[in-house]
Amino acid sequence: MPTGTMFMHQTLGSLFINGDDGKYYQARPPVLLGPGLRVTFDVLNLTDAPPGFYFAGNVQPAPDPTPSTETTPQSGPKLLGPWGKPLPSSITTVSNNNNASSSPVLSSPKVTVPPSLPAPSYTPRVLTNKQTREDFEAIVRRVEEMDWGRQEGYGPSLQVTTKLKWEGEGRELYLRVLEEYQDRRIPGQNLFYYVGTIDVNWGKGGFRISAHTKPKADIAKSKTFSVLHIEN
């Protein structure tokens, strides 16, 4: 079973798995495991995964390594001085430079440091298509206009319609919006952006940007506020 280490993505603000195979994975469904924790998982071979993304299922904390069975060596016989009397402890005890008795040094378990490089596709993609770029700019303007914390429960909502089809530039538009907003804190609000697809066929009916009280890693426990629908 593959293994890896949980880490917090420095750019997206989401939890990922740094796999021992050199790939970064995102848990499906999200898990509440802290950064630095060793985990085991199953690789999910999803045909609809965005380019450069890998997903993991059945994410579980890795079992602790087998404790060492080494035994502590017994101390040798006591050294005796004249007339068979034990020597003073000041002579038999090895001292360090600070004249303090040395004691065994307990090494703490090695903690894996999260990688400094973020997950694949971390740099904002460049939109070369004119229509895609204009639609993205229109979405950004709508996001800035919305009062995201005005009402709880999926409203009020606004809508942006794009002519771009999903199998083509529509997918590029979605991925660029995902890079821009996913898990970012909404300015002036104690809320977080969440970007999700609308249709069960992963975006063929459009996608949405919504406001939540918790980031994606804890989305099941969050409350939803305003929603911006992007339809194609």
In tens, the pLDDT along 149-192 reads: 877 766 556 777 888 888 888 888 988 998 999 989 999 889 99
98: pLDDT confidence band, cut at 50, 70 and 90?
low
Evaluate whether residue 97 is within a structural domain.
Answer: no
- pTM score over 0.75: no
Range of the domain at 192: 130-231
Q: How many domains does the chain have?
A: 2
Q: Would you tell me how many other CB atoms lie within 10 Å of the CB of residue 197?
A: 18
- pLDDT per position as a tens digit, 104-158: 555 555 555 544 444 554 567 889 999 999 999 999 999 998 888 877 766 556 7
Evaluate whether residue 95 is within a structural domain.
Answer: no
Evaluate whether residue 33 is within a structural domain.
Answer: yes
Residue corresponding to tokens 């975006």: 203
- pLDDT per position as a tens digit, 47-66: 666 666 778 888 889 887 66
Evaluate whether residue 81 is within a structural domain.
Answer: no
What are the contacts of 112-115 at 24+ separation with CB within 8 A? 112/5, 112/18, 112/36, 112/38, 113/36, 114/5, 114/7, 114/8, 114/18, 114/35, 114/36, 115/7, 115/18
Evaluate whether residue 66 is within a structural domain.
Answer: no
Positions of E strands within 79-223: 157-161, 192-197, 207-212
Domain boundary among 61, 80, 104: 61
Evaluate whether residue 53 is within a structural domain.
Answer: yes
Evaluate whether residue 101 is within a structural domain.
Answer: no
pLDDT of residue 212: 92
